[in-house]
Structure 1
Amino acid sequence: MNPQVTDRPEKSRYEIHADGDGDGTETAGFAEYHLSEGEIAFIHTEIDPRFGGQGLGGLLARGALDDARARGLSVLPYCPFIRGWIGKNPEYAELVPEARRARFGL
C-alpha cells in the first residue's frame, strides 16, 4: 500500500501511514499544527526512525500543504522541517502570506 496522509483534527496533526512490520499500516510520522481563523501553523514534524530514509517526511509535508491549499488556509511554517521543505519546493511558498515570508526566510 502507498503511504497515506490523513488529517487528524482531534489530535491537531497530519499523520502519514505506511506499511509496517506486521499486517497493515502503521503511523510512520506526523506534523503537528495549530489552526486558527484561516491560518494553519505547523509547529513540529516527526518521522519514526524505523521509517527514516524512505522519503516519508517529504510526502507528509506535501500532503499536509496540499490539504491546506485545498482548504484555502495560509501556512505559517514554524516547524524547521516544513519551512525547509517549502524552501526546496518554492511552488508552495505562495501559501505563506507574503508579508510573513521574510520572517521564515522564504
Structure 2
Amino acid sequence: MDDQKLKITYSESDTKARYGASVSGIVSEAELTLSKVTPSLVIADHTFVPEELRGRGLARTLAAQLVADARDRGLRIVPLCPFVRSYAERNREELADVIQW
C-alpha cells in the first residue's frame, strides 16, 4: 500500500457488528459484517470491497482481524459469507478453534 495508511475499525450493536477497512486518501471503505447469534457465536454474513480498494488484500485483512478478535473473545464464527467461507476452507486447520461449520 506504499505510503497509504490502513485503518481497521470495529463497531457493534446488540445484534450486529461491523469491521471496516479504510486507506488514507480514499473515501470508500471495505467492510465485513456479522450477526450475533449468542454471546459466543457470530455469523460472518457479508464482505465487500469497493472497486477502488480491490487488489490490496483488504478482505483477507478483515477476515484475519475477525479471527484474531474471535480468539481473544472466545467466539466461534459461522462462515456464511462466501469470502469468509473460502478463507476458512483455505486455512481449515489453523482456524479449527474458531470456525463452526
Q: Distance in 1 between matches of 2:11 and 2:86?
A: 23
| TM-score normalized by the length of structure 1 | 0.77
Residue 62 of structure 1 corresponds to 64
Residue 52 of structure 1 corresponds to 54
How many residue pairs match? The answer is 94
Cα root mean square deviation, aligned: 1.8
**Deviation >4 Å, runs of 4+:** none
Gaps of 5+ in 2: none
1:31 matched to 2:36: no
1:8 matched to 2:11: yes
Letter in 2 for 1:63: Q
Q: Distance in 2 between matches of 1:89 and 1:19?
A: 30
Aligned counterpart in structure 2 of residue 94 of structure 1, from 79, 92, 97: 97
Asked if 1 retains the 8 angstrom alpha-carbon contact of 2:8 and 2:19, the reply is yes
Q: Which has a greater percent of helix?
A: 1
| TM-score normalized by the length of structure 2 | 0.81
> Offset of 1:27 from its aligned partner?
4.8
> Offset of 1:40 from its aligned partner?
0.8
SS at structure 1 position matched to 2:23: strand
Letter in 2 for 1:18: V
Asked if 1 retains the 8 angstrom alpha-carbon contact of 2:88 and 2:99, the reply is no
